[in-house]
Structure 1
């Protein structure tokens, strides 16, 4: 039998050894699978601007960055009023206040669409709306996939892969104003496809689908019995001569989850108010509706102050505010389109709406650059202008510029881009 004091020393040594062990806690599979693909690309670029030129960022899809685009007075007053009333400081129903949902339903009821408030779920921004929709329809245990556009915003991939759901891409056609390649879309559908994501108007392309083209897409979804997630965050942000058509207006008999929000059209992305509209003409979403309610209970709803202000924002913001925003964006699009046409080796695509323009880089004319990533990095280094390379959107040899910056800065940026391209262009 060990001496008592010797045994005590052994015990103390064991405790010290245990304390000195490295203790590592493994993150969950969901956390490890979650990746921001734009940050993943941009953070690996060595972005060192030219110290002699101020940086012009044409990369951020936040219309508030430069302070030239502000929400309407009515929008601000609606929030101030709710704060002063003090009636929306507590928890709301997880799907949102009834009057706020009614306001969204009223706002979206046009072109023959009659949205019922009970079909509206309020979320914490449109990205949260998309997360709920992907999560409710797709399941990793069923080896599900979702179909997403290429080029397209990478949030769809982030949200799907983080829960173990794979993505399959369908192509958009640059020669057809970035319409969907319908044959390619249908070829990507298999028995494990849980949903088709449609983004109209499009980020990054700035394209706006016609009613006929949307009908063609939904005809495929109907024939293959696949529900649709319609990302319509840029609804109504279309330029003169164009018309936004919501999927809800087409009587397609396809069950659709429509995602939208205040962020872009009302210029308040940080207020985090999004919505889902359950559009189900055939009764296919009986269980999905109940499951969405369950998912909404994870966060107990969106920001209650903005919910409270929502009726005032949606009903009182004058059409003149929206018209002025369209004038600014379409004017900047025209300015950028004309300015970039002077840049050798670039092919700008005139957008039909949204806040973006996509530009093709004829990489064969710039043999010194191996990729659009190198092109973007070098342009930042020499001209202090940064655009998101097409690799961020699943397509190489392109870049996206934002149209929300002040006109003088946009003009200066286009001059610098043209100088850069003309300097390196090779016949």
Structure 2
């Protein structure tokens, strides 16, 4: 009773839905792992769990990109709100940039700017949501798709990537999972978390499978062109005339600026299927009720895409090739974990734990929590990407820090291996 009025309690409370979705994300999992760090350890924490190389001097972005942002900001031309789909010069530049690798020309109307690739995922999943809809996601995979599907009420079905075949898609598995309510499948190429790069021939088979099932392909290419093996990067849009493709990308990884939050969603659809089915209209509708990248970053995009020199990209690739080799070779020396495939793209590698050989380790999450506490090394448990008792390790850090982290990982495993 307050001032003579009986209180009946508050009408609002959490029902836990967002907490459940957050636990599906890499960020949520890494926050849990990092709670185990020992504040008394004087050694620097080695971040082998997330893909943000920008904190290491060897992965600094090109001055061309920095100057483009400064120039756009100082011009005073980009202090305004941007159009919903993004400013026209940026959209046109992205269309030209992506068309270099395609057998047809994209137009600015095919391009929608987003707040990083994260918002591209949100929009792609949101426009496909309808009662009973399901979406096919790779396992292992980037679990933000699961989180967004949970928020949008879309059922998730997982198909396998096969480590013995360099993480190729299990196409037979896709066919057995799909039904009349399946709307799309997701492909991440170059691969996060596996470090694989799909061949042209395999991607063609994926496109034919999607066509037979009547589904579109969401192609996550945020690591596009970050390849250092035998397989070149082939964008899924090459096969857009077979099945419609929503290409997701950003400047975050190739230009080493994840904090700039400028990405895109692009319709690769020469046959006009996405317009006919009103998916393009829904993309526009979704953008009308969301935000967009900072306008001055959009203003810098044409200069960034058109004038960045190949030597900058080559330097990044050379460092990733070096650190990927360090990672693969060092893991061979560690008891209790194995690496089935040498990474040839992106910034990650998947390694398998042999829990039976490790004392006092119950599973991958327990492994990562104890590793953080004992060695101040943060690794992502495979459970966070759909593979229990696997680990995802990033090699997109300075070579000396990587070697230090892997030595600490080796010491940890030696300490816990069964005698």
Same fold (TM over 0.5): yes
Q: 1:57 aligns with which of 41, 47, 54?
A: 47
1:33 CA displacement:
6.1
Q: How far, CA to CA, are the matches of 1:237 and 1:113 in structure 2?
A: 23
Q: Hey, what's the Cα distance between the residues in 1 that align with 2:347 and 2:392?
A: 10
> What is the match of residue 132 of structure 1?
123
Given the alignment of the two structures, is residue 213 of structure 1 paired with residue 202 of structure 2, yes or no?
yes
Matched ranges for 1:252-271 at <5 A: 252-271=241-260
State the SS of the aligned residue for 1:257. Answer: strand
Answer yes or no: is the 8 Å Cα contact 2:241–2:271 preserved in 1. Answer: no
**Offset at 1:241?**
2.9
SS of residue paired to 2:352: strand
CA contact under 8 A between 2:72 and 2:300: conserved in structure 1? yes
Matched residue, 1:422: 414
Question: Residues 38-81 of structure 1: CA distance to partner in whole angstroms, max 9, x if unpaired?
Answer: 34444555513362533212112212233431110000000111
In structure 2, relative to structure 1, the CA distance for the partners of 1:30 and 1:372 (3 Å cut) is closer
Work out whether 1:293 is the aligned partner of 2:284: yes
| CA displacement at 1:299 relative to structure 2 | 2.7
Q: Alpha carbons of 1:47 and 1:55: their partners in 2 closer, same or farther (altered >3 Å)?
A: same
Does structure 1 retain, via aligned residues, the 8 Å contact 2:240–2:268? no
Matched residues in 2 for 1:228 and 1:422: separation?
Answer: 44
Q: CA deviation at 1:381?
A: 2.0
Compared with structure 1, are the counterparts of its residues 354 and 360 closer, same or farther at alpha carbon in structure 2 (3 Å cutoff)? same
For the residue of structure 2 that corresponds to 1:187, the secondary structure is: helix
Match of residue 154, structure 1, among 143, 147, 151: 143
Q: Identify the range of structure 1 (150-159 vs 361-370) with the bigger mean alpha-carbon deviation.
A: 361-370
Which residue of 2 is the match for residue 199 of structure 1? 188
Q: Structure 2: how far apart are the matches of 1:306 and 1:14? A: 52
2:306 is matched with 315
Q: SS of the counterpart of 1:285? A: helix
Shift of residue 359, structure 1, vs aligned partner: 1.2
- What's the TM-score once normalised by structure 1's chain length? 0.92
Q: Deviation digits for residues 249-303 of structure 1, max 9, x if unmatched? A: 1355201111101110011111111111111133221111111111111135322
What's the TM-score, normalizing by structure 2?
Answer: 0.93
- 5+ residue gaps, structure 2, are none
Within a 5 Å distance, the mapping from 1:174-253 to structure 2 comes to 174-250=163-239, 252-253=241-242
Q: 1:252 to 1:361 in 2, by over 3 A?
A: farther
Trace 1:315-354 onto structure 2 (pairs within 5 A): 315-348=306-339, 349-354=341-346
- Report the counterpart of residue 17 of structure 1 in structure 2: 5
Report SS of the residue matched to 1:95.
coil
The 1:345/1:32 distance shift into structure 2, 3 A limit, reads: closer
Q: Assess, with a 3 A threshold, how the Cα gap between structure 1 residues 31 and 420 changes in structure 2: closer, same or farther.
A: closer
Is the CA contact 2:364–2:382 (under 8 Å) kept in the aligned structure 1? Answer: yes
SS in structure 2 at match of 1:237: coil
Task: Give distance in 1, aligned partners of 2:384 and 2:21.
Answer: 16
Kept after mapping to 1: 8 A contact 2:185/2:216? yes
1:99 corresponds to which residue? 89
Cα separation, 1, equivalents of 2:224 and 2:329: 26
Any gaps of 5 or more consecutive residues in structure 1?
Answer: 1-12
Residue in structure 2 matched with residue 77 of structure 1 by the alignment: 67
Q: Write out per-residue CA displacement over residues 215-273 of structure 1, whole angstroms, 9 at most, x where no aligned residue.
A: 11111110010111111111101114330001111355201111101110011111111
Matching of residue 35 in structure 1 with residue 22 in structure 2: yes
C-alpha separation in 1, matches of 2:168 and 2:410: 28
Is residue 372 from structure 1 mapped to residue 364 from structure 2 by the alignment?
Answer: yes
Deviation (angstroms), 1:424: 2.2
Residue of structure 1 equivalent to 2:353: 361
- Size of the aligned set, in residue pairs, is 412
Higher alpha-carbon deviation: 42-51 or 108-117: 42-51
Q: Could you tell me how far 1:137 is from its partner in structure 2?
A: 1.4
Indicate how the Cα distance of structure 1 residues 76 and 32 shifts in structure 2: closer, same or farther if over 3 A, else same.
same
Distance in 1, matches of 2:19 and 2:318, equals 43
Give the equivalent residue in structure 2 for 1:143: 132
Q: Secondary structure at the match of 2:214?
A: coil
